[in-house]
Amino acid sequence: MVRENAILTYTNTLFYPLDPRVDEVKIEDIAHSLSQMCRANGHFKAFYSVAQHSLNCAQEARARGLSGKIQFACLLHDASEAYISDVTRPVKCYLDEYRIIEYKLQRVIYAKFGIDDLTDEEKRNVDDIDDALLYYEFENLHQQGIHEQPPQIYSCPDIVVKSMISVEAKFIRMTRRYMDNIEPGAENCKVIGIDSCNKTSKYYGWAAFWLDVHDGYGFGIYHKIEEIVADHHDADCMLIDIPVGLPENEQDEAVRPDRELRNRLKGKSSSVFNTPCRQAVYCQDKQDAKAINVQFLHKSLSEQSLGFTAKIREVDLFLSKNLQYIGQLRESHPEYAFAVLNDGKALKSKKTTCAGLDERKLILSQHFIHTEKAIGEIMSQYPKSLIDDFVDAMVLAVIGQNGMEKGFDSIPKEPVKDNRGIPMEIVYCREV
C-alpha cells in the first residue's frame, strides 16, 4: 500500500522525497525514470532524455580529463529529478523550498554512490559541464543559441534519438563501472566485432571478437545473434558486417550507404553487395526473392546477396523484437574499416591469401598490440578457413574501440531510418 508522503517507484520501492533514505535509492529507479523524462520540458524537436543528457555530461567530463569522481557526479547530477521531476530554470529560482528539497535529495543520492564529498571546485566543474551541454542541446535540438559566447565542447555529445530501454541500460552499466572504479572511457569500454561465417555446418553462424578492459580480448563462434547479445549484453558497442536497416522501396535504397561505400572503396567495391529489400529477405525461395526484389527495387539479386538473406533476416528479426539494441548493434564494413586504419586507402590484397592476411595483421598490430597472439590462438582452435572471418571481426572491434574514444562517423552523414526505425548506415571511427 502506498503510504502518505511516499511515492511508489519503478522497482516498487516506497520512497519519501521529503525524507530520503540512502537504502531506498536504487539506480534502476533513477535510470528508468530519467530515460523516459524529456529535457527542455519536452520542447525539443525530438525526444532527448535527461538520462542521455547525463551520459553526455559524463562523457564531456572524461574528454576534459577530469577525475572519475567528477565524471560520476556528472552522470548523477540530475538524479533527484527521478523522484521530484524537474522545474524549468525561470520558475525554479522562485521556489526556495523546492531547491532545499532538491539539494537534500541530491546529497542523499551522492551519498548512496560514495561521492557526497565533492569539493566546491568539483561542483563548479559539474555545473560548468551541465551549462555547456545545455547550450549544445539547444543549439542542435532547438536551433537556438542561449549564450552570446558559446562554451567550448571537448567531446562529441550523442544527441541521436535512441530507445529509452537502451539509454536506461547504458546508464545502469556506466554507474556500475564507476562504482567499480573503472572510468568507462574508450580504453575501458567493451566492444565487439561480429562477422558472418558459413564455411561448414559445424561453424555456421557468427565469428565474434571482443576487446575488453585493460587490453583484454576474446573470440568465439556463435550460432545465433541472440547468443552473442546474451553473452555480451554489457558491451558498449557492437559492430556487425551485415546489412542493418533494410530498404522497402527505391527511395529507401537510394539512401542506403551501399552506393557511397562503393565509391569510397575504389578497387575494392566488389566487397559491397546489393542489400536486398526487406520483402525479399523474408522469402524462403531464391527465385521468389529475386522476383520480389525486382518488383520493389527494380533489380535482381546476385548469388552473393542471396547467400546472406538468412543472416540479414536473423538480425532484422532480432532488432525488431529487441528495440533496445537499435543504436547499439550497428552495421559496419571490414574492408572500409581497414581502409580507415590505412590512411583512407583500400587494401587491394585478398583477405583469403597469405599476403592478404599478413597485410591485415600488420595494420591491426598498429592499433591492437595482441594481434599476432590473438590470431595464433584463433588458428590453434578453429579451421584456417575461418581466419578471415575472425580478422574481419577483429578489425570491427578495433574500429569500435577507436570510435568509442574519438567518436563515430557514418555513411551517409545523416542516416535515414527504415520503415522499422532502424538507421540505414555504415559506421566507422572518426580518426585514428
Comparing C-alpha atoms, which of 348, 321, 333 is closest to residue 256? 333
Regarding whether 312 and 219 lie in a shared domain, the answer is yes
**Measured distance CA(290)–CA(305) in Å, rounded:** 10
- Please give the average per-residue pLDDT across 158-171, as a whole number: 83
Q: Is residue 144 part of a domain?
A: yes
Amino acid at 265: L
| Residue 303 CA to its chain's centroid (Å) | 32
Q: Which cell goes with 30?
A: 533513477
Q: Is residue 357 part of a domain?
A: yes
**Measured distance CA(400)–CA(189) in Å, rounded:** 10
Average pLDDT across the chain, whole number: 89
Regarding whether 228 and 97 lie in a shared domain, the answer is no
Residue that finishes a domain, picked among 128, 163, 179:
179
pTM over cut 0.85:
no
Regarding whether 252 and 143 lie in a shared domain, the answer is no
Residue 150 belongs to what domain range?
7-179
- What pLDDT score does 232 carry? 86
Contact present, 378 and 220 (Cβ < 8 Å): no
Residue for cell digits 529529478? Answer: 81
Regarding whether 227 and 164 lie in a shared domain, the answer is no
Q: Is residue 33 part of a domain?
A: yes
DSSP 235-284: -SEEEEES--S--SSHHHHHHSSHHHHHHHSTT-GGGSPPPPPHHHHT-S
Regarding whether 140 and 249 lie in a shared domain, the answer is no
Regarding whether 344 and 390 lie in a shared domain, the answer is yes
Strands (E), 289-348: 329-331
Regarding whether 189 and 174 lie in a shared domain, the answer is no
Regarding whether 282 and 166 lie in a shared domain, the answer is no
Instruction: Give residue 158's pLDDT band: very low, low, confident or very high (50, 70, 90).
Output: confident
**Is the per-residue pLDDT at 362 higher than 60?**
yes
Which one is predicted more confidently, 215 or 322?
Answer: 322
Q: Which residues contact 59 (CB under 8 A, 6 or more apart)?
A: 155, 157, 158
Q: Is residue 292 part of a domain?
A: yes
Helix axes 354-365, 334-341, angle to 10 degrees: 60
Looking at 48-57, 154-163, 268-277, 281-290, which range is the least confident one? 154-163
Cβ burial, residue 39 (10 Å; 0-12/13-18/19+): buried
Q: Is residue 133 part of a domain?
A: yes
**C-alpha separations of 6 from 10, 12, 17, 78, 170 in Å:** 13, 11, 7, 20, 28
Regarding whether 110 and 201 lie in a shared domain, the answer is no
pLDDT tens sequence across 389-427: 999 999 999 999 888 877 788 999 888 999 998 999 999
**Measured distance CA(347)–CA(140) in Å, rounded:** 37
Q: Is residue 99 part of a domain?
A: yes
Domain count, the chain: 2
**Is the per-residue pLDDT at 1 higher than 60?**
no
State the CATH number of the domain containing residue 26. Answer: 1.10.3210.10
Looking at 188-197, 328-337, 383-392, which range is the least confident one? 188-197
Q: Which cell goes with 11?
A: 522497482
**Measured distance CA(36)–CA(47) in Å, rounded:** 9
Instruction: Give residue 187's pLDDT band: very low, low, confident or very high (50, 70, 90).
Output: very low
Regarding whether 220 and 129 lie in a shared domain, the answer is no
DSSP 360-411: HHHHHHTT-TTHHHHHHHHHHHS-GGGHHHHHHHHHHHHHHHHHHHH-EEEE
Contact present, 189 and 349 (Cβ < 8 Å): no
Residue that finishes a domain, picked among 126, 152, 179:
179
Contact present, 233 and 225 (Cβ < 8 Å): no
Q: Is residue 1 part of a domain?
A: no
Q: Is residue 12 part of a domain?
A: yes
Regarding whether 21 and 106 lie in a shared domain, the answer is yes
Regarding whether 73 and 11 lie in a shared domain, the answer is yes
Residue that finishes a domain, picked among 158, 179, 200:
179
**Measured distance CA(132)–CA(189) in Å, rounded:** 25
